[in-house]
Each structure stands twice: as structure tokens, then as C-alpha cells.
Structure 1
Amino acid sequence: MKARTNTFLGAAALAAGALLLSGCSAITGSGEAAAAGPDLPIDDEISTTVDTTLTELLPSAIAEKGRLDIAVDIPFPPMAMYDDSNRAIGFDPELGRLLGQKLGIDVSLNKQAFDSVIPSLQAGKNDIIMSGMNDTPERQETVSFIDYTHGGFAILVPAGNPDGITTQTDLCGMTVSVQKATVQGDLLRATECGSDPVVVTELPSDLDAQTALRAGKSDAYVADAVVAEYVAATTDDGDAFDVVRDPENPAGFNPVYSGIGVLKAETELIDAIQQALQALIDEGTYQQVLERNNIGAYAVDSAEVNQGSDQ
């Protein structure tokens, strides 16, 4: 993360009706399509239903505005990206739509550069952040996190795992590609290998690191677990790479929490989002969105706040 089931259209239409009955504005959406109507799940996206008891938890200012403004850094697959019709998809946009449905309020998914997502809350431009943001003590000085994933770093190898890599120490003596200036590079260099250390190849971008593995210039590639899962599932229809799964580290190496950011003073909104996320966890739609985006292994069991302070 950044240290930085199929549902039919009929279900979405029912949800839209529920939103209208709950008195929500129907003038917002994501991007330039904001005036076209509520931003709801479509086609095979996961859908849910409104819980009016949760709607009552929303702060009056947001209820009066009639929408929840969500800061999303796009693209950052599989957390957020655009489809062929320029619709925001991925874990964050799809979970954001579900939260809106559950709370009975429209959502506006607003593209925001990652380094400006917190200032956008402080300026009143957005209400919450859904952008794969790590829950850290430093960030908790400004925002509180409703944690929604727990994952670390993962090792990607060629399909079939020809070198039989099973854990981090198996990388000793091998060449591993990573994106330049990432924590992964530091962790690999610190691997206890004796006289046969990991040979770390740092490249300008994450895509460059993937390409090095595909071209045989590295034996493995290391990245955030959720990114590695996505790359393995989507490259050559899932036939190019395998993710190394270490039984001792099921959520990846050095796992951290990531979550939905809300200004720490907005206690009512924090409570509303936490309870809405818990409702999605309880009904199973949260897990469906994770699995739809190939990151089902990084689920949280419950919607907790600021677990990053315990890491």
C-alpha cells in the first residue's frame, strides 16, 4: 500500500430507488458525470441495500449536502483505475459506492493526487479518503483510519516457480527487481543471508520491475502484496506469474493496515463510516469486492479504527 458474485442491473436499480426514497440528492457522481445521477454499482459490480439506521448517523452537514465526497488517487491498480468507458473502478471506488448505498447517500469519487488527499479534507473539498493509504501514527495526528485491508509485501516469480522460492530467505543469492526508493529494497538488503546476499535491482517504476522479471533479468519481483496479487491475476490472463505464499506470512511480509481516512475531529463521520463498513463486512459484500479485485487475502475481520498505532 502507499506509504503511501455478480449483481444484476435490477439490484442496482432497486438500490437507486432506495436512495431516492431516503431523500438523497441525485445530482452527483464521479468525475465529469457528476450531474448525470447517483454513482451506483452497474453491470457486474457488487451492490447492497440502504440501512436507514446508519443514515441517521451521518453528520448534518453531509446529510444536507446530499453526498459524500471521496478523495481517490487514480490510477493505482487494483485499488483504483479507469475502465474503457472512463468509469472509476477497483477496490476503493467500488467499496466507496457500497458505503454510499449502505448509508443511503450519493457519493462523488474525486480524483486527487495522493500527496494532496489529506489537504483536500482540511480544505473541505472532500469528506473522506479512499486511496490505499497506510494507517500510520504520523498520519493519525491529522486523520483517523477505519482500517479496511491488512497486507504486506509479496514475492512474484515466473509461472511455475522454477526456482522453488517459498520464503524471503530463499531469495539469498538471487536477483530481485523492485521499484526504486521503496521500503521493499531496504527489507531485501536486510535479509539474513550470510555471505550470499540478495542482489537488489532498483528500477524507476513498478512496471519496470515487473518487466525485468518477465524478461528474465531478475529471478523475482517484490512489491506491495495487493499490487503483486493484481499483477499475477491480470498479466497474460494470470498465466505469467505466481505469487509466493509463505504460510508464516499469509498477509504478506511485514503487513500493515490501510484504511479510510477521516479528519480526526469528525467523530460523527468516523462512527458512521465504521458502522457502515462493519455492516458490509457482516453481509459479505466487502469480501466480494476484495475478491473481485483479486485481493481477498488481505481482508480485515472487523471495522476497527487506528490499528496502525499498534504496528
Structure 2
Amino acid sequence: MIANRATAIALGAAGVLAFSTSAFSQTCTQKVPDSLLVKPGTLVMSINPTLPPVQWVDDKGQLRGLHVELGEAIARKLCLKPEHVRVEFSVMVPGVQSGRWDMINTGMFFTEDRAKIMQLVRYGYDGISISAQAGNPLKITKPEDLAGRSVSVEMGGAPERRARELSKSLEEKGLKPITVRTFDNFATAYQALRAGQVDAAVSVDAVARLYGEKGEFAEAVPGLYPTLIAFGLKNKALAEAVAGAMTELKADGAYQKMFVAYGRKLYEEPFDVKGP
């Protein structure tokens, strides 16, 4: 089953169950000129590997997960070597704008504001989830149950923005606001929950679901604010090449097999570029 597969990956069984795009046609079809790239012959991508099962680091120090595999498949389609740079999400947007990497590949939420400052290629969906301590001792089952409580969240991304919006909405209902505590990444945000420093953690659906399946935390409130996710790039020509690679990956079935294997909803619209 999909859930079992994801759990096994996060437990270190990648050698047995990890999906491999090498089983599909990975013909080099688009030659990208070096003038569009940060490093000749290489697609340099930023990633924050603290979100199993979509992006994480195994016990051998290797990057694993859906976004890793997808980025590697795109690079191969573009006749490029894939290279992932591990950084916190808070530096990804300024990093792509300043030319430190070619592409943000971390399941970044699509927003119209981001489309005003960089090129975005939408390719999937995700949502916000609230995780509670194992067993859910505080009985958190709806957003209102967070009134007057504290939550941890990764700084700088959509989950933090949504947590603050949720707090404001509770105040508008006459309830106590949420104390939002930000951390460098989701891993440390969950560590704070594990240590009892906060009452809940705000993350994304895929991460909360996996932790719930493993029994480490309770997936208390899933599926809030369902949103498109996108790759982010500075260069429009390179973004169009990435969109073309995604179209080819869907045509040969690799895109569908990757997303189904990880239990993710398929993006049914054409892969196009939206940006300034």
C-alpha cells in the first residue's frame, strides 16, 4: 500500500522500496545552453530535506523523496546533471533571485505574490496540517481547539503565514489567539512539539500524515488550505524548459508513477510558466 511504502522509506528501507525513475524513458531531449545555468551542464536546485517522505536524508546521508526524484528526472530530460543544495527555506527565494541556484525544488506553495518576483511552474498540490503529540492528549480536532495554545512552524513559508492567518481568524471569532513559534525548518519544529515546548506543529499534509502513520505524532487536523505547489526559477527560458520536461515526464508516465507511489494528487492542467 502507498502508506506502507512511505513509512518504510522514512524508516530507512529506501533500498527495498524506493521508486526509481530509471525504469522509465529518460532520454535527453532538450539541450539547455550553459548561459542559462548557474553551473555549466548542471541543474542546481535548492531543497530543504526535512519533510519525509517528499524530501529527506537517509541514514547514509543521501537525499531521498519525491521532490528529489522529480528534480533528477527533470535534469536528465534537459541533458543536465542534477545537483541539490541543502538550505533552509527562508533563503531559497533570495537565493534563486541572486543566482545561487537555478531552481527551487522544495514543494513551494504557489502564490500570486511569488509569481510577481520569479518564474513559477506549477506541478502538484499540498495542504496545511496540524500535528499534535502522540495520542493527541489535548484532543485537538479542529482549528478552534488551538485557541490560546502554542504552535511550532518553519519560518518564512506558507505554513507560517497560514498559522498566523488562523490565529487572526480565531481572534475575529472572539477566541484567544495562537502563539506562533518559528523554527529554521520542520525538523526542529517537530522537535519542539516532541519536547513539549509547544502544543502542536503546523506543517504540510504529506509530513503530518507520515508522522501519524509512524505513531510519532497525531495527525490532528489535515487538509487545511489546499494549495498548488510549484518550482521557482529566475530565468524564464529555463522555466519553460522545465515545464517542457514535466510535459514529457507526464507523456511517458514517469510523473504519474512517481506521484501515485507517494500518494499525491496529480496536477491535471498543462505545465506552464507563470511569472513577471
Pairwise TM-score range, normalised by the shorter structure: 0.5 to 0.7
User: In 1, distance between residues paired with 2:102 and 2:143?
Assistant: 40
User: In 1, distance between residues paired with 2:119 and 2:129?
Assistant: 27
Task: Give the aligned partner of residue 268 of structure 2.
Answer: 301
Are 1:84 and 2:59 an aligned pair? yes
Task: Give the aligned partner of residue 191 of structure 1.
Answer: 169
Distance 1:299 1:308, change over 3 A: farther
On the 8 A contact 1:132/1:259 being kept in 2, the answer is: yes
Q: Say how many residue pairs are matched.
A: 255
On the 8 A contact 1:178/1:184 being kept in 2, the answer is: no
User: In 2, distance between residues paired with 1:71 and 1:162?
Assistant: 40
Task: Give the aligned partner of residue 204 of structure 2.
Answer: 224
Q: Secondary structure at the match of 1:197?
A: coil
Task: Give the aligned partner of residue 9 of structure 2.
Answer: none
Are 1:47 and 2:21 an aligned pair? yes
Q: Secondary structure at the match of 1:191?
A: helix
Distance 1:216 1:162, change over 3 A: same
Task: Give the aligned partner of residue 178 of structure 2.
Answer: 200
Are 1:278 and 2:247 an aligned pair? yes
On the 8 A contact 1:157/1:241 being kept in 2, the answer is: yes
Task: Give the aligned partner of residue 179 of structure 1.
Answer: 153
Task: Give the aligned partner of residue 144 of structure 1.
Answer: 119
Highest relative contact order (Cα 8 Å, sep 6+), 1 or 2? Answer: 2
Structure 1 residue 225, shift from structure 2 partner: 2.9
User: In 1, distance between residues paired with 2:78 and 2:15?
Assistant: 18
Q: Secondary structure at the match of 2:236?
A: coil
Q: Secondary structure at the match of 1:221?
A: strand
Structure 1 residue 277, shift from structure 2 partner: 1.6
Distance 1:162 1:256, change over 3 A: same
User: In 2, distance between residues paired with 1:257 and 1:229?
Assistant: 18
Aligned Cα RMSD in Å? 4.2
From 219, 224, 233, the counterpart of 1:262: 233
Distance 1:308 1:47, change over 3 A: same
From 210, 215, 220, the counterpart of 1:239: 215
From 126, 129, 133, the counterpart of 2:108: 133
User: In 1, distance between residues paired with 2:140 and 2:270?
Assistant: 34
Q: Secondary structure at the match of 1:138?
A: helix
Aligned residues with identical type, % of pairs: 23
Q: Secondary structure at the match of 2:164?
A: helix
Structure 1 residue 288, shift from structure 2 partner: 4.6
Structure 1 residue 97, shift from structure 2 partner: 1.3
User: In 2, distance between residues paired with 1:219 and 1:116?
Assistant: 27
Using the size of structure 1 for normalisation, the TM-score is 0.62
Q: Which one-letter code corresponds to 1:254 in the other structure?
A: Y
Q: Secondary structure at the match of 2:247?
A: helix
On the 8 A contact 1:158/1:240 being kept in 2, the answer is: yes
On the 8 A contact 1:157/1:244 being kept in 2, the answer is: yes
User: In 1, distance between residues paired with 2:260 and 2:212?
Assistant: 14
User: In 1, distance between residues paired with 2:266 and 2:248?
Assistant: 14
Q: Secondary structure at the match of 1:85?
A: coil
Higher mean alpha-carbon deviation, 142-151 vs 223-232, is at: 223-232
What's the CA shift string for 1:16-40, capped at 9, x where partnerless?
A: xxxxxxxxxxxxxxxxxxxxxxxxx
What's the CA shift string for 1:76-120, capped at 9, x where partnerless?
A: 323543323222223332211122334454322234554554555
Q: Secondary structure at the match of 1:96?
A: helix
User: In 2, distance between residues paired with 1:106 and 1:243?
Assistant: 37
Structure 1 residue 154, shift from structure 2 partner: 0.9
Structure 1 residue 278, shift from structure 2 partner: 3.0
Which of these two proteins has the greater Rg computed from alpha carbons? 1
Q: Secondary structure at the match of 1:190?
A: helix
